[in-house]
Amino acid sequence: MQPVNQALDEVKELYQKVLGKPAPEIQPGSFVSFPPGVDPLNHVVKEVDQLKQLSERLTFAPRPAAWTPQADTFVMQDSYLVRMEIPGVDRDTLKVFIVGGECVVRGERKLPETTPDVRPLNLERSWGLFERRFTLPRGAYPDKVAALYSDGVLEVKVAIEGIEKPKEMKIVVEEPR
């Protein structure tokens, strides 16, 4: 029974990856019987393997961001700092990762809950999914990242080698001839 449960878990992960939402639960009694001579377990494992191979060949476009939170970036002698204002975003929806020389921050702010007695009159704050990408400077250590979320402000700090001050060159601006 272990391979069947593993196959079902893999199908649920693929469903989430493709559609961006959890897979529905399979109701008992909704299964279709297999023709005589077909091993159901072997068939399921082969089908899941084919789905996994197909999903590895496909690239999925990320879900579009609904809003863009404001952010400030700073560089210090030993670190790169991203500070984002995202009040009302639940810590559990935040994802921070380093990929391809970028620091990526994703999350979601939920629409305020309403009841028949409390309905929105005017909503000025953005809500929904967001994603921000920040190019890391040379010398960044993608394995040395710290994130802190407090009072609606997310700070992501990435360790970097000491930054050399850029050399200054004087350029003479000439008049056209």
Band (165; pLDDT cuts 50, 70, 90):
low
pLDDT of 133 above 90 = yes
Q: What CATH number was assigned to the domain covering residues 71-111+126-160?
A: 2.60.40.790
pLDDT of 71 above 80 = yes
Q: What is the pTM of this model?
A: 0.57
pLDDT of 127 above 60 = yes
User: DSSP letters along the chain, please?
Assistant: -HHHHHHHHHHHHHHHHHHSSPPPPPPTT-PPPPPTT--HHHHHHHHHHHHHHHHHH--PPPPPPSB---EEEEE-SSEEEEEEE-TT--GGG-EEEEETTEEEEEEEEPPPP--SS---S---S--EEEEEEEEPPTTEEEEEEEEEEETTEEEEEEEEPPPPPPPP---PPPPP-
pLDDT of 157 above 60 = yes
The domain locations on the chain are 2-29+39-57, 71-111+126-160
